[in-house]
Homo-oligomer: A and B are copies of this chain.
């Protein structure tokens, strides 16, 4: 029934490759099936002007798609001279999601900058980005602890994200591009390892959705995110 033959509650294959590039303090290639996003976390020893001298840190995120990560080529935002509204929405979401699990006071006057760049897109790039960024932030913070700059990690919990949606009248987990471009309701859910919601963003593209449908989608998302957090833990344990 699903174009990919997956069960309604089945995630795509998830792969988390750490140290994908060599310069960033944290560098993770995350794959949700054919969706591939390079997530780096960079540590800078300064904070934005509005936080200077307040003794706390900051975390922010930027997002981009390589022009030919998509089925047909998209214009390069650097060449157009501006980031689209969609790009800005996504990078704000990634930043909020990660800030929810980092104790910024404990970070000191430092900034973590996350860059999520989509190498190949097949739906769910923002949820893959959040899921991968969490591991990149973990690794970047670990370098601070290893160098003795921080006594303990300010990362309080895991955070991961998945999309769910009503596809051909049924709730399904982790939409790929074929499903995403043909579904009625699309919802992105961000949760912590402890099971709290950080973001719930549901949009009816066609028919409005009912309370029952919302409940079914949330249940799918909760189960999916538990698996994603297991994958994050496994990736971190590997080293």
Query: Which A residues contact B (CB, under 8 angstroms)?
Result: 21-24, 27, 34, 36, 38, 40, 42, 44, 62, 64, 66-73, 76-79, 81-83, 85-89, 91-92, 96, 100, 113, 115, 117, 119-121, 187, 191-192, 194-204, 207-211, 214, 218, 222
Contact = CB atoms under 8 A, between A and B. Distances in A.
A71 B197 contact: no
Nearest to A200: B202
Contacts of A121: 23
11 contacts: A21-B68, A78-B78, A85-B85, A85-B92, A196-B207, A196-B209, A197-B209, A200-B200, A200-B201, A200-B202, A201-B202
B68 A115 contact: yes
A88, A192, A199: which has the most chain B beta carbons within 10 Å?
A88
Contacts of A96: 203
A19 B82 CA distance: 30
A64 B115 CA distance: 14
A203 to B, nearest CB: 6
Contacts of A77: 78
Contact of A23 (B27, B68, B113): B68
